[in-house]
A and B are shown apart, each in its own frame.
Chain A
Amino acid sequence: MAPTPEESVEAKVMEAARHTAYPPTPDLTGGVIRGLERRRLTVPVALARAAAILALVMAALFVTVPEVRAAVLSLLRVGGVTLLRETPAPAPTLDLVPTVLMLDGRTTLNEARSILPFRIRTPAYPPELNGPDHVFVPDNSAVVMVWTENEAITLVLTIHPLEREMFKYYPWDQTGTLVNGDYAAWLTEPHTLFDAGGQVVTRRIIHDHVLIWYDDEVTYRLETDLPMAEAVNIAESLE
């Protein structure tokens, strides 16, 4: 039986992969060990320094090169969240949702997992953390999970597809860090979240710190009053 087009492509790719020439693999051991010893220097400082240099380079290129313009805009985004450095930030308006517990779409974690097309992971750290106390799916395209203690909100984790847009008016400098080796933004000032990605537009004031990161599929937003290192630990514990 003749191969299908997909089988033919697969065979071609496998053949090409076997004949791909790679440069010799360098011995990374020494560099890695030295890097482990150096990395105690602040990662945010290194990232801020690199970001400052890159900003100067791109400012020079921005006006003339369309590809650079697109790249600059993408650097102000973390996954599906865009940070707008509008100064001054817009004043809060009456249509703000006063608290995350007032969101529409209250449901259960199992129900959210059955209706949303992406994988909903929850933190395994700290070890004593149980499942979320409240779950919302405001418009069938994002999930908001809330943990409380003595009726006070302690943690909020929002997960939404990469193509869903959220905006934050954030005129202050944000800190960069790493989650699973990938870039993440850390915000510490109170700001307004503008969610325009679903059928309902909502605005909410965020008082806590926020860690924003993303993977191939979704954007994550973690709201917490914990310090950045703990927030990263929580983010890297998702399973």
Chain B
Amino acid sequence: MDSELIRLAQQGDTGAYGQLVQRHQEPVFRLAYLICGDPDDAEDIAQESFIAAYHALSRFDSERPLRPWLLRITANTARNKRRSVGRYLNVLRRWANEWASEADAEAQASETLEADALLAAVRRLSEADQTIIYLRYYLELSVAETAQALDIEAGTVKSRLSRALGRLRESVMRERPLWLEGGE
């Protein structure tokens, strides 16, 4: 169980913390990748997030679920990294090309194309909208876990999700009016 490893890590057992890293590195890395879009940056962000979490572990209640807390730190770290200029311009260039590149990817399955296109649309939303969509749908956290990760109430998760999905729908429908009907 995480709680025992957390208690050992809180006492300075880095081996125990390493086991926690093994258990949670996939969702942490994937969230970082969803936010920043680059695997190397995502690896840096994930690593920094685990390091920051270790140094804050002394005040973490070992009986609470660890993953939502780790993902909160990851989202904060990724958001801060993304504000550097180089990455900002790289992301702008990626967004500008992603819709245009769909027509070139004829070998890709249509579901993957659709997934890539929708991810590109999600990345055009605000940071807050992106984060809650990633946590709830891409990492499949429950409403309660999403609330813990964002340090908000469960009811607030639902209302923020509703608004984020509304903004996503408006954004996609501007480019693809028949999107919800299954057309292009």
- Interface 0/1 of A27-56, CB less than 8 Å to B: 111011101100100000000000000100
Is A76 an interface residue when CB atoms closer than 8 A count as contact? no
Do A32 and B137 have beta carbons less than 8 Å apart? no
CB-defined contacts of A20 to chain B, threshold 8 Å: 115-116, 119, 138
Knowing A6-B166, A236-B56 are in contact, say whether A22-B21 is a contact too (CB < 8 A).
Answer: no
Is A148 an interface residue when CB atoms closer than 8 A count as contact? no
Q: Which of A26, A61, A71, A74 contacts B29 (CB 8 A)?
A: A26
CB-defined contacts of B50 to chain A, threshold 8 Å: 28, 32, 35
- Interface 0/1 of B4-23, CB less than 8 Å to A: 00000000001001100110
Q: Which of A25, A39, A71, A182 contacts B85 (CB 8 A)?
A: A71
Knowing A28-B47, A74-B83 are in contact, say whether A5-B54 is a contact too (CB < 8 A).
Answer: no
Q: Which of B33, B42, B73, B118 contacts A181 (CB 8 A)?
A: B73
**Stretch binding the partner chain, chosen from A7-15, A95-103, A153-161, A189-197:** A7-15
Do B22 and A13 have beta carbons less than 8 Å apart? no
Do A23 and B46 have beta carbons less than 8 Å apart? no
CB-defined contacts of B88 to chain A, threshold 8 Å: 67, 71
Closest chain A residue, CB of each to CB of B60: A236
CA distance in complex: A182, B52 (Å): 9
Knowing A57-B86, A61-B85, A181-B49 are in contact, say whether A14-B137 is a contact too (CB < 8 A).
Answer: yes
CB-defined contacts of B54 to chain A, threshold 8 Å: 32, 36
CB-defined contacts of A125 to chain B, threshold 8 Å: 59
Do A25 and B29 have beta carbons less than 8 Å apart? yes
Is A216 an interface residue when CB atoms closer than 8 A count as contact? yes
Knowing A9-B180, A19-B112, A25-B25 are in contact, say whether A216-B150 is a contact too (CB < 8 A).
Answer: yes
Q: Which of A27, A54, A178 contacts B52 (CB 8 A)?
A: A178
CB-defined contacts of A22 to chain B, threshold 8 Å: 29-30, 33
Is B179 an interface residue when CB atoms closer than 8 A count as contact? yes
CA distance in complex: A11, B95 (Å): 24
Number of inter-chain CB pairs below 8 Å: 148
- Interface 0/1 of B116-128, CB less than 8 Å to A: 1011001000011
CB-defined contacts of A183 to chain B, threshold 8 Å: 80
CB-defined contacts of A233 to chain B, threshold 8 Å: 59
For chain B, residues 127 to 157, give those with C-beta under 8 angstroms from any C-beta of chain A.
Answer: 127-128, 131, 133, 137-138, 140, 150-152
* A134 smallest CB distance to B (angstroms): 26
Q: Which of B22, B111, B128, B140 contacts A29 (CB 8 A)?
A: B22
CB-defined contacts of B76 to chain A, threshold 8 Å: 180-182, 215
CA distance in complex: A15, B79 (Å): 25
Closest chain A residue, CB of each to CB of B166: A6
Is B92 an interface residue when CB atoms closer than 8 A count as contact? yes
- The chain A residues found within 8 Å of chain B, CB to CB, are 5-6, 8-10, 12-23, 25-29, 31-33, 35-36, 39, 54, 57-58, 61, 65, 67-68, 71-72, 74-75, 119, 124-125, 178, 180-183, 215-216, 233, 236-237
The 5 closest A-B pairs by CB, nearest first: A181-B52, A19-B115, A16-B118, A182-B76, A23-B39
Can you show 11 pairs from A to B with CB atoms below 8 A apart?
A9-B165, A9-B169, A31-B47, A32-B18, A33-B14, A178-B52, A180-B52, A181-B48, A181-B52, A181-B56, A236-B59
